[in-house]
Amino acid sequence: MQGNLAGVTLEHFADGGAIPNTALPTVIYKAAVSSPSAEALEALFDVNGWPSAWRWSVYDYHHYHSNTHECLGVAQGHARLQLGGPEGREFSVSAGDVIVLPAGTGHKKLEASDDFLVVGAYPPGFSADLMRGEVGERPGADERIAQVPLPKSDPVGGQGGPVLEKWG
């Protein structure tokens, strides 16, 4: 099963000091699923080899994950997110959109509708740590980020998606 790959954009974020970001692009799929729901996103991610891990929101503070890539699927509602840390950029997302963040990429919720719901997923065998860009964090975080393997599939496109094409 493949989601909609027509509305894909790639975003690059420079090292922000406290937030490392990465040379790999963040992949944003607008309207990846035509009838968005938590169940539809979970099914899409699961069949494409990114087991769905949680349903919730996005933290309202800058953070990143140093030990895994992360997939965020918007199941309902809408939000403004800041990607790339404090020096990053703002993005509007709504139900059906999917964001794939390479390990080390900063993200934060700026504002959201009351019904904003996200499905999170990771490559098989991974679960996220939580890094906030605190003093002294970087040496260890940088080492972990460098060790995160490229995923074997794209959570939206399976074996034919832009995560494999652009990250590989």
**pLDDT band of 4, cuts 50, 70, 90:** confident
Distance (Å, whole) CA 22 – CA 33: 27
**pLDDT band of 147, cuts 50, 70, 90:** very high
Of residues 129, 132, 118, the one with CA closest to residue 86: 132
Q: Which helix (H) or strand (E) holds 76?
A: strand 70-76
Distance (Å, whole) CA 143 – CA 137: 11
Of residues 37, 166, 15, 143, the one with CA closest to residue 86: 15
Rg (CA), the chain: 14
Distance (Å, whole) CA 80 – CA 109: 6
Give the torsion sign (CA, 118, 123, 126, 130): negative
Distance (Å, whole) CA 164 – CA 79: 27
Distance (Å, whole) CA 75 – CA 78: 9
Are 65 and 44 in contact, with CB atoms under 8 Å apart? no
In tens, the pLDDT along 64-110 reads 999 999 999 999 999 999 999 999 999 999 999 999 999 999 999 99
Domains and CATH numbers, the chain: 8-135 (2.60.120.10)
Looking at every residue in the chain, the average pLDDT score rounds to 97
The pLDDT value recorded for residue 1 is: 77
Give the torsion sign (CA, 7, 12, 17, 22): positive
**pLDDT band of 5, cuts 50, 70, 90:** confident
| Backbone φ/ψ region at 69: left (φ over 0), alpha (ψ -120 to 50), beta | beta
Q: Give this prediction's pTM.
A: 0.97
